[in-house]
Amino acid sequence: EAQVTQNPRYLITVTGKKLTVTCSQNMNHEYMSWYRQDPGLGLRQIYYSMNVEVTDKGDVPEGYKVSRKEKRNFPLILESPSPNQTSLYFCATLDRAGANVLTFGAGSRLTVL
Amino acid sequence: GEDVEQSLFLSVREGDSSVINCTYTDSSSTYLYWYKQEPGAGLQLLTYIFSNMDMKQDQRLTVLLNKKDKHLSLRIADTQTGDSAIYFCAEIFTGGGNKLTFGTGTQLKVEL
């Protein structure tokens, strides 16, 4: 079954404590992306990766880092989380064959106190 | 830059038709999409339309595209309580990065 798996699904942390949200896919897609979802703002892209070792900033990259050492994994790193990073985060992969359809993970709800 | 706008809420009665509207700005978009997000879940592709089409129908769903006005709509016929969700329209920005730009989402509430 085609899947995008994110962990953790829920996390409460404190300001400044580094955390990583993992994302793994089994579809061999080259393109992966992170979004955050906030009420009234829809989904905003944080970072994306066109392929292994290729990453680029999206619309709201401040306070985040990513890495793409292998095709299947695309972790999102918050080096020093702040309360304004409290949000719902989604990882997604893009199938660039055909209609460029995104497949999303189930989401990771992060609360920074 | 690219921008996609939707109204935030829509309430309909079960059995009625729902129409969710969206306006977009990138006239070079090749595809436009509707994604559905059920509570506590990620987004799932509902349907999409290629930019050279005016209409696409898929069972209870009808997508209308007006390229001149940059207006996209999703009509759900015979709306059911299971259709209650947030609906996002999205366009793909062909300027680079295969980036999909999402609207703010429309929360559809279906009442009995």
pLDDT tens column, A7-42: 999 999 999 999 999 999 999 999 999 999 998 888
**Rounded average pLDDT over B36-49:** 91
pLDDT at A91: 97
Is A21 within 8 Å of A42 (Cβ atoms)?
Answer: no
pLDDT over 70 for what percent of chain B? 93
Give the three-state DSSP class for B82: helix
Radius of gyration, CA atoms only, chain B: 14
Contact A105 B42 (CB under 8 A): yes
- Which pLDDT does position B100 carry in this prediction? 82
- The stretch B77-100 carries a mean pLDDT of 85
Are β-strands B85-93 and B71-76 bridged in parallel, bridged antiparallel, or unpaired? unpaired
Q: Do A101 and B33 touch (CB under 8 A)?
A: yes
Counting one residue from chain A and one from chain B, the pairs whose CB atoms sit within 8 A come to 58
Are A56 and B41 in contact (CB < 8 Å)? no
Rounded to whole angstroms, the Cα distance separating A45 from B44 reads 17
- pLDDT at B1 exceeding the cut of 60: no
Q: Do B48 and A99 touch (CB under 8 A)?
A: yes
Q: Please report the pLDDT score of residue B2 as a whole number.
A: 59
**Mean pLDDT to the nearest integer, B79-89:** 96
Residues of B with Cβ-Cβ distance to A41 under 8 angstroms: 104
Using the predicted structure, report yes or no on whether residue A87 has a pLDDT greater than 90: yes
Which pLDDT does position B96 carry in this prediction?
59
Both tokens of residue A28?
């061999």
Closest to B38 (Cα-Cα) out of B4, B101, B80, B93:
B80
Q: Is residue B83 helix, strand or coil?
A: helix
Nearest C-alpha in A relative to B90: A43
Residues B34-50 have a mean pLDDT of: 92
Answer yes or no: is pLDDT of B10 > 90: yes
- Supply the mean pLDDT for chain A: 94
Flag if B42 and A58 touch (Cβ within 8 Å): no
The residues, any chain, with a CB within 8 Å of residue B84's CB and separated by 6 or more, are B108, B109, B110
User: What is the average per-residue pLDDT within A46-68?
Assistant: 95
The answer to whether the CB of B89 falls within 8 A of the CB of B72 is yes
What is the predicted pLDDT for the residue at B94? 61
Give the confidence band of B27 by pLDDT, cuts at 50, 70, 90.
Answer: confident
Residue of B nearest to A55 (CA): B97
B43 with B57: CB under 8 angstroms? no
Choose from A47, A93, A102, A103 for mutation: most chain B CBs within 10 A: A102
Query: How far is C-alpha A61 from the geometric centre of its chain's CA atoms?
Result: 11
Neighbours of A49 (CB within 10 A): 21
| pLDDT greater than 70 at residue B95 | no
Q: What's the pLDDT at B26?
A: 75
pLDDT (average), residues A38-52? 92
